[in-house]
Amino acid sequence: MSSMLAGSRLRLARSFPVSVSFYLTPALRAFADGRERIEIGGSPATLGDALEALWTICPGLRHRVATEQGEIREHVNVFVGQENARYTGVLATRVPDGAEISIFHAVSGGAGPAI
């Protein structure tokens, strides 16, 4: 009897869309109304789908993250969980339910050598 109850709970949980959250670094927050984290509804299948949903919420991010051809800019790293999307299929990277997607701009420069 308890396995039937567990099965019905699992079906019920699957009937509600799971959100995916984006984490934005400080350089990108100005294009997202200052938000560090943005959740999108539904269950996007790929990173490309998730980014399209993000662009509808924060259209100013699109040109900071993607090129005119829709590809991830060279100086931007996007992680789905702990995996860099450059090595897992870029826009075709699968996005699991409840995933956290982090967008980072490459950082360069520094203080230079100590004297």
pLDDT digits (tens, 9 = 90+) for 6-22: 444 444 444 555 689 99
| DSSP β-ladder status, 20-24 and 100-105 | parallel
Determine, yes or no, domain membership for 37: yes
Determine, yes or no, domain membership for 113: no
Other Cβ atoms less than 10 A from the Cβ of 104: the count is: 16
In this structure, what CATH number is given to the domain that contains residue 40?
3.10.20.30
pTM: 0.78
Other Cβ atoms less than 10 A from the Cβ of 3: the count is: 7
User: CA 90 from chain center: how many Å?
Assistant: 12
Determine, yes or no, domain membership for 112: no
**pLDDT for residue 6:** 45
Query: The tokens of 76 are what?
Result: 């931007």
What is the residue range of 97's domain? 17-105
Statement: residue 79 has pLDDT above 70: yes
Per the structure, the count of domains in the chain is 1
> How does pLDDT run across 10-62, given as a tens digit for each residue?
444 445 556 899 999 999 999 999 999 999 988 899 999 999 999 999 999 99
Determine, yes or no, domain membership for 1: no
Determine, yes or no, domain membership for 70: yes
Residue 81 CA to residue 73 CA, distance in Å, equals 19
Q: What are phi and psi of 71, to 5 degrees?
A: -90, 155
